[in-house]
Chains A and B, each alone.
Chain A
C-alpha cells in the first residue's frame, strides 16, 4: 500500500516569500505529525493533528508557521515571510492511533535563499 507522501520533494524560495508544503498520510490514519530536521540535527516536533484539529501546536517556532488539515486527511504546512533559518527538511508522519507506529514520509527539502 501507499506510504506517506510529501510534495514537493524540493522547494527553493526567496527570503520573504510564502510557501506551502503538502502531506498525504496513509489512508485511515487519524494522527498526523509535522517535524523539522535541520542540517546535522534530529527531527524536531512541530505540530500534531488528531483528525481535523491541531491537538498540539506547541512546537511551531513562531506565528509565521501554520498548518491545516481541513478534512482530516491531507495536511498543509504554511510558512509566511520565509527566513533563511527556515531552510530544513520538513517531515510528515502519520499513525493509526497515538500508541501505534509513526510512518514517515520522505520529506520536503526547503531552501530559502
Chain B
C-alpha cells in the first residue's frame, strides 16, 4: 500500500523568502508523484508531477520539486514566496498511472502555507 507524509500542517514564511514544503512517500513500486494546490473555495490544481526521467521537475507559478528515491522524498520549493502563494498544498502518489487513475490518487494531509508580509 502506498502512503504520503507531509511534515508540518502549517508552514509560515516571509514574503520573498524560500518556500520548502516536505513530502515523503512509501510505495512498493516506482511511484508517480504529484503536488496540488488548493485555494479557498476552489478545486485542487496540479502544480507539477514526476513520472519518469529528470528528477527535478518544474511546475507552474515558479514551483519545483525534486524526486529523491534514496530518501523517498518529493519536497516542493520556490525560491521567493509571494503573497499569492498562500494556500493549502497537497502531495500525492500513484503507483500505477501517471495521471493518478484508476485507483485514484493517495494524498497527504496537506500543508497550509502562510505568507507573512
Binding site for B on A (CB under 8 A): 3-4, 31, 33, 35, 40-46, 48, 50, 55-56, 58-59, 91, 93, 95, 97-107
Contacts and interface: CB of A to CB of B under 8 A. Distances in A.
Contacts of A42: 4, 90, 92, 107-110
Interface string B19-59: 00000000000000000100001111110010000000000
Contacts of A56: 102-104
Interface of B: 4, 9, 36, 41-46, 49, 90, 92, 97-110
16 contacts: A41-B110, A42-B107, A43-B44, A55-B102, A59-B104, A91-B43, A93-B43, A97-B99, A97-B101, A99-B97, A99-B99, A100-B99, A102-B99, A104-B43, A105-B43, A106-B43
Given A42-B110, A43-B90, A3 B43 contact: yes
A35 B104 contact: yes
Given A106-B41, A106-B42, A107-B43, A98 B101 contact: yes
A44 to B, nearest CB: 7
Contact of A40 (B92, B107, B109): B109
Nearest to A33: B104
Given A4-B43, A104-B45, A106-B42, A43 B107 contact: yes
B109 A103 contact: no
Contacts of A59: 104
A104 B49 CA distance: 16
A48 B104 contact: yes
